[in-house]
Amino acid sequence: MAVGIFDSGLGGLTVLDAVAKRLPDVPFVYLGDSAHAPYGVRDADDVYDLTTSAVERLWAEGCDLVILACNTASAAALRRMQERWVPSDKRVLGVFVPLIEALTERQWGDNSPPREVAVKHVALFATPATVASRAFQRELAFRAIGVDVEAQSCGGVVDAIEEGDEILAEALVRSHVDALKRKMPKPDAAVLGCTHYPLMAHIFQDALGEGVTVYSQASIVAESLDDYLGRRPEMRGPGAEAAFLTTGDPKRVSSKATQFLRRKIEFQAA
């Protein structure tokens, strides 16, 4: 029954919270690689090695399906993993595709040729590694034509959120939005391309203005996972117990996670 959720740190808890509410009968095993966070400043090979190691740990917990709730891992490692590494009886899915399907108003699994969509100017806010990968632009090009994407690398935001420094995080978000608007003054939509960023969604929205639709991943991924498991119930793994695992110090990570979600969270050593 268990499904794995992986993130480089605590950002994936936003996805876990949404999928657990949507699928209350599914036990989720969350693994945060806090010992090596943040991933957004690492190179692609490093991200790949760390991500495959984490996924193997979740398979050992009985999670045949693992969601990479880390945009950097989804951007830098997922395609390589799916093509060369994931065995036929396992699945590893990322968080980019459901987001892009929502942005382009496509149904899950719609493989028709790319077409014109209503949104023409998209602002992408993401980690340096995600921006460098151009994975968002690549996946978008499979589904839509005529969409201009301006990507803004949001250095420092993840660290500020992980450290609980909301004042610094807000200042950085506003600075990055200002930098984006100098390149794209009037975006139609903004994509929060990191699972930490939903915690600052109200700041992004305020800085961007009311006329910009802000797409955040947690609820979109929850809806897509519900649909996927409805069609592929056999991908619910044999694991029966929910758990929170970390490569960092469990006591410290538990304290930060409790602040993060505003409810008691207890991590164990991975």
Q: Which of 180, 196, 216 is the last residue of a domain?
A: 216
209 and 247, same domain (yes or no): no
- The reported pLDDT for the residue numbered 30 is 98
73 and 90, same domain (yes or no): yes
142 and 207, same domain (yes or no): yes
89 and 223, same domain (yes or no): yes
Decide if pLDDT at 108 tops 90: no
188 and 102, same domain (yes or no): yes
107 and 203, same domain (yes or no): yes
Q: What percent of the chain has pLDDT over 90?
A: 75
| 229: containing domain | 3-94+218-269
Q: Which long-range contacts (CB under 8 A, 24 or more apart) does 225-231 make?
A: 225/3, 225/19, 225/22, 225/23, 225/67, 225/93, 226/19, 226/22, 226/23, 227/108, 228/93, 228/108, 229/3, 229/23, 229/26, 229/65
177 and 208, same domain (yes or no): yes
- The reported pLDDT for the residue numbered 96 is 84
- The reported pLDDT for the residue numbered 246 is 98
142 and 229, same domain (yes or no): no
Q: Which of 216, 242, 258 is the last residue of a domain?
A: 216
The pLDDT-based confidence of 217 (bands split at 50, 70, 90) is: confident
204 and 248, same domain (yes or no): no
172 and 203, same domain (yes or no): yes
Global pTM value: 0.87
* Tokens, residue 207: 């800085």
Active-site residues, by number, are 70, 194
In tens, the pLDDT along 5-62 reads: 999 999 899 999 999 999 999 999 999 999 998 898 899 999 999 999 999 999 999 9
Bridge-based pairing of strands 189-193 and 121-126 is parallel
Please give the average per-residue pLDDT across 100-122, as a whole number: 86
The domain tally of the chain equals: 2
- The reported pLDDT for the residue numbered 88 is 94
Decide if pLDDT at 1 tops 90: no
Q: Whole-number mean pLDDT of the chain?
A: 93
Q: Residue 127: which CATH number?
A: 3.40.50.1860
CA dist., res. 46 & res. 67, Å (int): 19
